[in-house]
A and B are shown apart, each in its own frame.
Chain A
Amino acid sequence: METPLSIAGKTFRSRLLVGTGKYPDYPTMVKALEESGAEIVTVAVRRVNLDRSRESLLDHIDPKRYTLLPNTAACFTADDAVRTCLLAREAGMSSMVKLEVIGDEKTLFPDTEGLLAAARTLVKEGFVVLPYTNDDPIMAKKLEDAGCAAVMPLAAPIGSGLGIRNPFNIRIIIESVKVPVIVDAGVGTASDAAVAMELGCDGVLMNTGIAGAKDPVLMAGAMREAISAGRKAFLAGRIPKKLYATASSPLDGTFF
């Protein structure tokens, strides 16, 4: 009954996508990734450490086991985002990228004008583009029309843990586009992830919500279960909300 997540013809059993940043150490990250059940993990592209004094992320993540999804975090222009994606494709093996063009340092909200321009360029270059965007249904449709393989609206600002601030817009986005809708950023705890899935999202991408928890491994498991529970509840079809009670027990046959 539970169908896999399909992005540009590739299927994934897990609907939870997890970041690899901000963990206290690599062993915790490795355990948290395992516990999350995620198959897609995001990575950033940065200068190599020339003195080799730090361990490499790739010493700890097996690219055969996980699909690496390079991001363009900290890119403030479409040009820098495109450069980053070209480098990422050359460093890795996949052409799937999480496209971010950031508009403001304080909020890390996307610069959707730059985002759309970068998305168009990257689609032409043969990339599978998963754009981090705001919760704007019009922009989501434009990104789909530009050829993006999914749209990834934020729940709330990156790392804020505020949960889904505008569930109605997320619902409208889900109704507006045919490509997968993956909530990206702002998820703070398991119920936030469950809400996203209950709304009908195809997946959730998170990093700080797990990595920043007191026990990241335990939280990773909680998120896995929340995604699964939320998905099942969505497929099951929830009851309508009503103002007044409806008795669950029969009203006839009472003896009092």
Chain B
Amino acid sequence: MEIVVNGEQRTVVEGATILSLLRDLSLPETRVAVERNRSLVRKADFAGTGLSQDDRIEIVTFVGGG
């Protein structure tokens, strides 16, 4: 199915979760935070949150700033 991750179209397998997406992207779960369709997904829920067609996922981290 098709989802949008950080503004980019991406295909994921049926049954994919936030956790499997992070692993596919080689992103360490400890350093990121995730929104699914503008709602925060808690770290504890990464494994249990399934992805649906057209989901809009934001994965953020800390960068330099003032």
Which residues from chain A sit less than 8 Å from chain B, CB to CB?
A: 19-23, 29, 42-48, 50, 52, 56-58, 68, 70-71, 73, 83, 86-92, 158-159, 185, 205-208
Contact = CB atoms under 8 A, between A and B. Distances in A.
Interface residues of B, number: 25
Contacts, number: 99
A21 B65 contact: yes
Contacts of A208: 66
B7 A47 contact: yes
B13 interface: no
22 contacts: A19-B64, A20-B65, A21-B65, A22-B64, A22-B66, A23-B64, A43-B62, A44-B63, A44-B65, A44-B66, A45-B63, A47-B59, A47-B60, A50-B5, A50-B8, A56-B61, A57-B64, A87-B33, A87-B60, A90-B33, A91-B33, A207-B65
A52 B26 contact: yes
A95 to B, nearest CB: 13
A19 B62 CA distance: 12
B65 A43 contact: yes
B65 A47 contact: no
A159 B32 CA distance: 28
Contacts of A19: 64-66
B65 A42 contact: yes
